[in-house]
Each structure stands twice: as structure tokens, then as C-alpha cells.
Amino acid sequence: MAARCEPGPGAALMGEPEQESPRPEPAFVYTEADLFRSGIRWDGERPDSRFDQALRSAWERRMRAGCFRYRLWGPELPARELPGPRRLLAQLNVRRATERRPPQEILSVRQPFDPQRFNFSRVPHREILFPLRRSPSAEAAAPGGGPREPGGGPGGDAEALLIINVSPLEYGHVLLLPEPGRLLPQCLTRASVLRALELVFLSSEPAFRVGFNSLGAFASVNHLHLHGFYLRHRLELERAPTEPLAEAGLGARVHRLCGHHTRGLVLYSDGGERDRARVADALLAVSDLLLRRSLAHNLLLSRGCPLGRRPPQPDGRDGVRLVLWPRRSCFGAKDGAAFNVAVCELAGFLPVHTAPHFESLTEEAALRVIGEQLLPAQRFSELCAEIAGLPGH
């Protein structure tokens, strides 16, 4: 079995649920100084960041209080690495398949937001972990490891929210609501990409990932949100070789995966403020093109190596790779499938629905299921040519 993220100190308190329903924690206010841009290693040992401490503490408190639809703690979910060169990780999560909120009916990648349907403005207070606020002022810093008090000061960014996913895939599974009050549909915005990048850089754990599923790519709620969770398993795409789509313009910033079992596009950020902005602009140009072409897509942000044919040594993870998969649209779950293909599955993490599927799944079978949802090779090549022709930023 692959190593998994262990729960924090609050694990010792698991047992009887807390009597009082938790309220949201104070806002987590952060600055550039809180972002980790060096020293991230899979084999290294370093203390949790202030953000990791705040997330783990608030998440564990809600697990103790019974706020989730099922308990998920440490190694409670069986997992195994499938034999084969891809190192796919299969995990048995029957209760997520049977007890999660039924997905909304989605008919289009560009379906408008419907205030009459469930959206995240309706979640109870006990599911809210804390607001997130970026402040440009170093004076906002608070001593110690806990969240800072509200009040980022004039010029601070608008608040985002972190809430629990009540049907978690993994330890620490949360939802990032980048602009909750705007009631936006499930389409990436510049603010959402920037906030997602900051979230990954706030963590000192290479295991912390952020993902996005568009409509038609297994997003279950049409209200802008991204997923965040800890998965202590190395993914092939973190070091997979890449090549640029063009020598200049936007195509020089956007690469394609090479030698990987998926057809994906890759961007990279070293974490600098200007670099994050350039990467967000480039990603938005590509995602806007996908929306115009009515192409569903999934996105993963994960610590990874700089782009190129030969990833550098040593095996560091100081920057963030953003892997974007244009794919076939799928409106509704496939009956009888071992798993649905969304961002986790494309990345190599396979939450499986049933015990028989979990026990019998092979790498060959998994790759076949994933391959059925990829954009055909010819269409992907045509799309890459379109992206290479987009003006640079």
C-alpha cells in the first residue's frame, strides 16, 4: 500500500463526537511571506506550514463533530498501488459512491448558474472551515501557528472560503470557493486560478493537491469551486517530460505531456507573484478557448519539476505544475464502471466504487477506462495548434 498522509495531533481525540456544532474559524490571512517556494521534497522532513496546521486542525475538529457523511481517518480506506509502470493508486471508497449528494443535471459545459439549484451559499456554518484573505501587508502577520485574526487591512484581496467536502476522498479534503458571493458557474476565472496557486504554495506538503472539474467533466455542482486534499503518493505527471507547443508566444509557456498515458497540457509556476499572474493569464486563455469549443476539461495543481525533456536533479518539488486535460464530455455517471474519470483519475489516483472492482482492477483495465475519456489524438493535436497560435501574454 502507498504511504498516506497521517492525521494531526487531534487524532488522539477521535471517538465520541463533540457536543457543540463547530463554527467557522477566524479568517486565515496570509501574505507573500507565507508562500513556500523552496525546500519542498518528498523525502524531506519539515514542519507543517501555518496553513497546513490551520486546515488540519479545523478539518479534524469537524470530523470529530460528525459533520461528514462518513468517517475518514488515516488508513481507514483500503488502497493499493496497481502493478505496472504507471504506479496508479486505487482506493476503495464505497460510501462516497453511495452517500454523496446526487450530482446536478448538467447539459452543457457553459451551463448558466441557477440560484434555484443547490449551491455553496446554502451550506451550514458547521461545514465552513475558515475564510481565506490575502493581504499585501506584512503587518498582517500574526505570531504562532494559528490562523490570523480578520482584518487584512485596506487593499487586501476579497475573501475566499474553505469548506469541508462532506463526502471526502482523502484526509483533509476541502472545497475552495474562490469568489463565493458572486454565484459564478463552474468555469475557471483568473481569481480562482490565482487563489488555487496560492493555496498550493501555502502548504509545505508536496502531498497537498488542488483540482478542478468543469461541467461535463464530473463537476457535480454548478457553482465555482475547486478541490483540495492531501495524498501522500507520488504522481508520474510531477516529473513527466514535456515539450512546448511553440517556440514563442503563448505556445512557449504551454507544454504538452510526453510519454504519459494521458494527453494533457502543462504550465509551471515558480511561485513568484508576477510569474503566478502570467501563468494564470495563460491558463485562462486556454480554458476560454476550451469553453468556446465546448470542450470539458479537468485541472490539477501539484508540486512538480520545471518543464522540459529532462527534469532536473535532485528530485525537488519547489514549483507547481498545472496540468490541464481537455477531454470528452460526460454528462452523468457510467453505470457499472469501476470509477468515473475526473481530475483525480486522470492524475493517477483512482477512487473505486465497489470491493469486487477494487480487488480485480489492473493497470491495463484502468488505462483503458481512462483512455475512453481522453480527447482523440487528432483532435488534441488540432487543439494544440490552436493554442500555439494564441497571442502571448
Helix axis angle, 190-202 relative to 50-64, nearest 10°?
A: 90
Backbone angles phi, psi at 386, to 5 degrees: -65, -45
Q: Report the C-alpha gap between 381 and 303 in whole angstroms.
A: 26
With the CA atoms of 330, 331, 332 and 337 taken in that order, what torsion angle do they form, in degrees rounded to the nearest 10? -10
Q: Is 223 a catalytic residue?
A: no
Per DSSP, the chain holds a count of helices (H) and strands (E) of 9, 14
CB-based burial label for 388 (10 Å; 0-12, 13-18, 19+): middle
Q: Report the C-alpha gap between 52 and 280 in whole angstroms.
A: 24
- The C-alpha cell of 74 is what? 488515516
Nearest one of 171, 205, 174 to 75, comparing CA atoms = 171
What element of type H or E holds 274? helix 273-292
Buried b (16+ CB within 10 A) or exposed e, 62-100: bbbeebbbbebeeeebebbebeeebebbbbbbebbbeeb
Helix, strand, coil shares of the chain, percent, nearest 5, are 30, 20, 50
Q: Are the C-beta atoms of residues 202 and 34 closer than 8 Å to each other? A: yes
Query: Catalytic one among 125, 173, 223, 225?
Result: 225
Q: Report the C-alpha gap between 297 and 287 in whole angstroms.
A: 8
Q: How far apart are the first and last CA of the chain?
A: 44
Backbone angles phi, psi at 29, to 5 degrees: -105, 130
38, HSE (Cβ side, Cα atoms, 13 Å): 2
What element of type H or E holds 196? helix 190-202
Q: Which residues are catalytic?
A: 225
